[in-house]
Amino acid sequence: MINFAQHVLLRPGFRTEEGWLDEGLSKYAEEIAGRSYLQQGDTATFSNYAFDDVYDTYQYLSAPGASPLLIQYDQGTLAEIGASWLFVRYLVDQFGDSLPHKLDGTTLVGSVNVATQTGQSFVTSVTRWALATGCPICRGSPRPRARLHGVAVSHANVCVAHAQDPGQFPRPYPLVRP
């Protein structure tokens, strides 16, 4: 909804954001809305907000090779949407909380939008994201661990979800290394 308003309604004649980035930004907006409940000490409501995001992330991490990041608008599986959210989380950690606004406030879309707003190639961003996502404690990341807060929090949320509902989240960390 936010992307559509920014890319189409406020800038008539421009395209909607690509599906994968639209979904990732939408999930990030859900996360931000849910965090407002944490500030009030309401962890139960926050958990309700976060559950779907964590579930989608778990689905992606269970089989990342089967879930491409670049999905079409309104055509992604839950796992692919989980990948989109993790990617946007990673970008925000690397480039700051103002990045989503920059991504929304332009006529650019998709990988060109990401590359322009971050100042690094899309291939570099995706490669670094894949490295950070594949490592629960973020060892070997090209960036300092402190800059991977959202990715680390995503991993921690999956571990908590496993402890609370092992039926839905059978492994504490779903990514199995070859």
Overall average pLDDT of the 78-92 stretch:
90
Alpha-carbon gap, residue 56 to 23, rounded angstroms = 12
In a domain, 60, yes or no: yes
Alpha-carbon gap, residue 33 to 13, rounded angstroms = 30
How many structural domains is the chain composed of? 1
In a domain, 89, yes or no: yes
Top mean pLDDT of 47-56, 79-88, 146-155 is at: 79-88
In a domain, 176, yes or no: no
In a domain, 173, yes or no: no
Overall average pLDDT of the 29-37 stretch:
84
Question: In Å, how far are 34, 41, 110, 142, 163 from 132, measured between CA atoms?
Answer: 24, 30, 21, 8, 23
User: What is the model's pLDDT at position 37?
Assistant: 85
User: What is the model's pLDDT at position 139?
Assistant: 36
Q: How confident is the model at residue 91 (pLDDT cuts 50, 70, 90)?
A: very high
In a domain, 48, yes or no: yes
Alpha-carbon gap, residue 49 to 86, rounded angstroms = 16
For the full predicted model, state whether its pTM sits above 0.85. Answer: no
Tell me the per-residue pLDDT of 97-154, one tens digit each, with 9 for 90 and over: 999 999 988 888 899 999 999 999 999 999 888 887 765 433 333 443 334 445 545 5
Nearest to 87 by CA among 34, 136, 142, 131: 131
Inter-residue contact 137 to 152 (CB < 8 Å): yes
pLDDT at 89 over 50: yes
Domain that holds residue 109: 2-164
In a domain, 169, yes or no: no
The length of the chain in residues reads 178
In a domain, 112, yes or no: yes
